[in-house]
C-alpha cells in the first residue's frame, strides 16, 4: 500500500515537472493540425510560421498562470521567532523558577596534592634506538 502511494506521488511530481514543457510536446504532437487550423498567420506564407504563433501564445498562457498561483511575499516581521523578539516582554517579566538546592548531591572529585618534585619519565628505548642508528 505504501509503495503504491509513493509511486502515485512520484508520478504526480513528474507530471508537475512536465507542465512547463507541455506546450512544446503538444505542438510537436499536433504540428499538422496546428499549421492547418490554429495558425494565426495562414494568410502570410512568407512568414513560414508553421504554427509557432500558436505555440508562442500557449507558452505565454502557461507563464501567466504560473505567476497568478504564486503566493504574495511573506513578511517575516509578522511571524516572530520568539516572544522576546517582539519586544513586548522584558526578561525581568519572565517568571523565573525558584532555585532549589539538592542536598543529596555528592561531589566525588578528589584532588591528591603531591609536594614531591616532578620527574619526567625516563626513556630507555631512546638510548637503544640512538645506538642502533649510529
The string of pLDDT tens digits covering residues 54-109 is 888 888 887 776 555 666 777 777 776 765 555 555 566 667 677 766 667 667 77
**Residue 51: what pLDDT?**
84
**Residue 118: what pLDDT?**
80
> Which residue shows C-alpha cell 499536433?
30
Q: What is the CA radius of gyration of the chain?
A: 39
Mean pLDDT, rounded, for 105-115: 74
Q: How many Å apart are CA 47 and CA 39, to the nearest integer?
A: 11
Angle at 123 between CA 117 and CA 128, to 5 degrees: 155
Torsion of CA 34, 37, 39, 44, to 10 degrees: 130
Angle at 81 between CA 75 and CA 86, to 5 degrees: 80
What DSSP character marks residue 32? H
Q: How many other β-carbons are positioned within 10 Å of the β-carbon of residue 52?
A: 18
**Over the chain, what is the mean pLDDT?**
76
Whole-model pTM: value is: 0.42
> Which residue shows C-alpha cell 519586544?
87
* Inter-residue contact 44 to 50 (CB < 8 Å): no
Amino acid at each position: 500500500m505504501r509503495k503504491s502511494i509513493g509511486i502515485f506521488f512520484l508520478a504526480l511530481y513528474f507530471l508537475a515537472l512536465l507542465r512547463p514543457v507541455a506546450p512544446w510536446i503538444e505542438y510537436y504532437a499536433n504540428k499538422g493540425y496546428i499549421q492547418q487550423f490554429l495558425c494565426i498567420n495562414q494568410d502570410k506564407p512568407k512568414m513560414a510560421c508553421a504554427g509557432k504563433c500558436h505555440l508562442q501564445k500557449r507558452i505565454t498562457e502557461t507563464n501567466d498562470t504560473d505567476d497568478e498561483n504564486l503566493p504574495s511575499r511573506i513578511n517575516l516581521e509578522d511571524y516572530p521567532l520568539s516572544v522576546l523578539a517582539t519586544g513586548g516582554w522584558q526578561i525581568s517579566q519572565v517568571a523565573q523558577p525558584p532555585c532549589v538546592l539538592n542536598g543529596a548531591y555528592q561531589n566525588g572529585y578528589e584532588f591528591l596534592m603531591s609536594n614531591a618534585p616532578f620527574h619526567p619519565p625516563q626513556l630507555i628505548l631512546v638510548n637503544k634506538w640512538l645506538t642502533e642508528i649510529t
